[in-house]
Amino acid sequence: MSVPDLLRDSFFGRIVYYASARRLFRHPEERPDFKLPPRYSVHMPGAAAAPRAESPAPSNRVSQAGTLAADDRRTSKGTILDDVTVNTAEHSEAHMPHRESTVAHEVLHLHPHDAEKATIAAMEREEERVYDNPNIVDWYGPGDPECPENWSFWKKTFVTYQIAHITFAIYIGSAIFAPGIPDLAEKFGISLVAGNLGITMFVLGYAIGPMFLAPMSEIPQFGRAPVYMITLLIFSLVQIPTALAKNLGALLPLRFLAGFVGSPPLATGGASLADMWPPQDRVVVIGAWSIAAMCGPTLGPLVGGFAAQAEGWTWTIWILLWLGGASWALLFFTMPETSSQAILYRRAVRLRRLTGNPALKSQAEIESEHMTVNEIAMMTLVRPFVLGFREPIVAFWNLYLGMVYGILYCFIASFDVVFIEHHHFNLGQNGLAFLGIITGVIIAFFGFLPWALYTLKPIFARGEFVPEDRLPPAFFGAFFFPISLFWFGWTSAAGVHWIVPILASGLWAMGAFYLFQAGMNYLADCYPRYVASVLASNDLFRSFIGAAFPLFSTAYFHNLGVGPALSIIGGIAIGMLPIPFALYRYGHKIRAWSKFAD
């Protein structure tokens, strides 16, 4: 039965496939017209062993490895490419290079001195190992349609939309709760600070969740799509007891659990996009994905404001249930697997069944078999802290983006003071004030797009890319950030028209967008070998800062006033302003000193 790839590879398609004992929704290897590549057929029972052509001379492999090393330095991820080429007497088949699993890659280079061993000689040994092992399952050729990088533009775009959609559905869960806090505090008989713990616990949940859930998506036997589907289903179901909670003791653990299980799209969404899009396109695609990530917390007060005003705080949670449930239903029928390692593992399983050769395995499958519990714990729990405190580049950006992230949640409290108390907006109107931030993000993206297409992409094409090429947008963001804070703070009085501080919040959003884009891409490019740990470190640190701000921000603005309160934060932002300029000028030297950076 021939079905569209999206349906066949979806969660629904996998269920039908196994429920029908693999008779429905078959893959190419299971169809009668499938032609088995000769390299896999030589080991079938009863097949004569075909002689393998003489392997290239070691010097040639060294030269090839050197070429790969040069190409590696010009890619944003810096991953090692494997050229799997096996010659038989009957057929010579070139196989497509593929990326090593991020988790497996980190485990293979677990300690600092391992980075120093990633030389041409090490690459030669790895290439020789792959070359001499015809049992490694790879792509059938450079145009293999199963490879996510070979998907059509429209399929990639649709899957990118899906990743953005679930990111929005999860991220809105933090701020949508805020407008209902006064009603919750009144019904539970608690203070507003205690009510704000509902935001804090949710943010803490998706700060800690990636440390445990994100690595699961890198396991080839599991993949990314099942992680998204299972955690999103739990996230949606958790909203039912949350809305029915009658006291704070029941509410807070449920809010933490919701953030925890909802964290995979926030942490691995970028990895899913990197599975499909080449490095020169990722900056634009991840920029579009970031719009969804930033629109979640900013649209939350808008949606939650009207809901809480009409029906009370519980309706902010019911909306999360409807949004999460609708997202899950869409993805259930249309979300394919994007991880190359998971796709190749499933192909290896089918080829083992077809050929009767149990030795056929994907490269990531072989690597994962040697991963120990201690290695996984080192990678997921220890290394993010080590990199976050010992690496100057990581520490600076963690602090910088953490401050930006904290201000986002700080605005939730300041908007209540400025627009509800000063300008007498109701909850719904106060939510509309956040449209200034959304507008700023959209303007920033379309201002960022020409730079990415006409400046950065040609650098990739010429092979001249270095990580510092990511930083120019941060130059604008570094200035927009403090200017917007002073502007918003000192125009928040009741005598100033409400549109003025809204315009200031739009400028802040532009600065935040540019800083996030530059910072996250720069960290990934500087530490390609440890990208999972570096981004987990950044997510953990900025989420902890963001979780702390709602607890004191209301009292902070009431006691100091909005102008002085934001001026203090603006002063800190001015002190951090030289960071992107200094890294642009001296970043290459800092990376040269590091044992982790490439």
Q: What domains does the chain contain, in order, with CATH numbers?
A: 36-144+340-369 (no CATH), 145-338 (1.20.1250.20), 372-598 (1.20.1250)
Who contacts 293 (Cβ-Cβ below 8 Å, separation ≥6)?
A: 167, 168, 171, 266, 269
Phi-psi region of 463 (alpha: psi -120 to 50; beta: other; left: phi over 0): left
| Average pLDDT value for residue range 398-409 | 86
The predicted model gives 251-273 an average pLDDT of: 89
Other CB atoms within 10 A of residue 234 CB: 16
49-86 pLDDT, tens digit per residue, is 444 434 333 334 333 333 333 344 333 333 333 333 33
Q: Where are the alpha helices (DSSP H) in 79-223?
A: 102-108, 112-116, 120-131, 153-175, 181-188, 192-213
Instruction: Looking at mean pLDDT, say which of 373-382, 434-443, 460-469 comes out highest.
Output: 434-443
Query: What is the model's pLDDT at position 368?
Result: 73
Task: Answer for the pair 317, 199: CB distance below 8 angstroms, yes or no.
Answer: no
Predicted local confidence at residue 211, as pLDDT: 78
pLDDT class for 35, splitting at 50, 70, 90? confident
Please report the pLDDT score of residue 132 as a whole number.
54
Supply the pLDDT for residue 193: 85
Quick one: pLDDT at residue 44?
A: 60
Angle at 175 between CA 234 and CA 503, to 5 degrees: 145
> How much is the average pLDDT of 15-29?
89
pLDDT, mean of residues 118-142: 61
pLDDT at 119: 41
Q: What is the mean pLDDT of the chain?
A: 80
pLDDT tens string 145-184: 999 999 999 999 999 999 999 999 998 988 899 889 889 9
Q: Which of 277-281, 325-329, 476-480 has the lowest mean pLDDT?
A: 277-281
Gap between the Cα atoms of 293 and 299, Å rounded: 10
pLDDT at residue 527 greater than cutoff 60: yes
Report the pLDDT value the prediction gives residue 412, as an integer from 0 to 100: 77
Helices H / strands E in the chain, number of each: 28, 4
Cα angle: 551, vertex 556, 558; to 5 degrees: 120
Stated as kind and residue range, the H or E segment containing 353 is helix 340-355
The reported pLDDT for the residue numbered 45 is 57
Question: Rounded to two decimals, what is the model's pTM?
Answer: 0.80
**Whether pLDDT at 530 is above 90:** no
Rounded Cα distance, 589 and 568, in Å: 32
Q: Which of 473, 451, 479, 486 is nearest to 520 (CA)?
A: 473
DSSP secondary structure string, 490-550? HT-STTS-THHHHHHHHHHHHHHHHHHHHHHHHHHHH-GGGHHHHHHHHHHHHHHHHHHHH
The residue among 247 and 127 whose pLDDT is bigger is: 247
Comparison of pLDDT for 186 and 113, the residue scoring more: 186
- The dihedral region occupied by 394, where left means phi > 0, alpha psi between -120 and 50, and beta the remainder, is alpha
Burial class (CB in 10 A: 0-12, 13-18, 19+), 493: middle
Lowest average pLDDT, out of 93-107, 521-535, 547-561, goes to: 93-107
Euclidean distance between CA atoms 374 and 354, whole angstroms? 36
Helix (H) or strand (E) holding 93: strand 92-94
Tell me if 317 sits within 8 A of 243, measured CB to CB: yes
**Per-residue confidence (pLDDT) for residue 74, from 0 to 100:** 36
Contacts of 409 (CB under 8 A, 6+ apart): 174, 175, 199, 203, 297, 546, 547, 549, 550, 553
Indicate whether 488 pLDDT > 90: yes
Nearest Cα residue to 478 out of 403, 530, 554 = 403
- In the chain, the amino acid numbered 465 is F
Retrieve residue 381's tokens: 């729990």
